Amino acid sequence: MSSLRRTIVNLVLGALIAGSAYDIVSDQEHWPFSQYPMFSGVWRSPTFTWLRLFGVTADGREFPLDANRFIEPFDQSRLPKALRRILDGPDGQARVRTALADCLARYEDLRRQKRHDGAPLTALRLYEVEWTIDPDGANIDRPDRRAFVAEVRP
């Protein structure tokens, strides 16, 4: 192993350790470096709220898009968080409707490709839903409350 190569390798090793240490100490994230904060908050409340998409069929029926196959490549963690960030930002309502239009187009693309068995949609609605956590998870399909946030139509 030449000294030049060993130097290069040592620099790479140092970069890994220094980059990770910086993010850990400063409690910041510079992907792919991170302080890995997942699930680090303490959970005390028996209730929680979550943003959830609902599809509206031609007969007016609503159903939750609570499986990843409806919203791929997003998932049930990433999409609500993305929508929350948009809503909390400037011009949130208008921007979230643009995002929902993307989601509706994507849903229909996936449906036409038979990647899911969902019904054709006449509208897509975003609600903020709230649950009281049930010890048996018996109310997963029955949130305590839901608040309308936005709607888009094709």
- Name the residues that contact another protein, by CB under 8 A: 1, 6, 8-10, 12-13, 16-17, 20-21, 23-24, 27, 29-46, 48, 50, 64, 66-68, 72-83, 85-86, 95-96, 98-99, 101-102, 105-106, 109, 131, 133-137, 140
* Residue 92 CB, nearest approach to another protein (Å): 10
Q: Which is nearer to another protein, 72 or 151 (CB)?
A: 72
Smallest separation, CB 29 to another protein (Å): 6
Give the tokens for residue 20.
Answer: 């990770």
List the structure tokens of 54.
Answer: 């609902």
Report residue 83 as tokens: 């929508």
Instruction: Rank residues 119 and 140 by Cβ distance to another protein and give the closer one.
Output: 140
- Pick 9 or 119: Cβ nearer another protein: 9
User: Whose Cβ is closer to another protein: residue 8's or residue 119's?
Assistant: 8
- Quote the least distance from Cβ 42 to another protein, whole Å: 4
Following DSSP, what letter does each residue of 4-66 receive, concatenated? HHHHHHHHHHHHHHHHHHHHHHHT--BTTB----TT-S----SEEEEEEEEEE-TTS-EEE--
Integer Cα distance of 67 and 48 in angstroms: 19
The least CB distance from residue 135 to another protein, in Å, is: 6
Query: CA of 1: how far to CAs of 6, 7, 8, 15, 80, in Å?
Result: 6, 10, 11, 20, 50
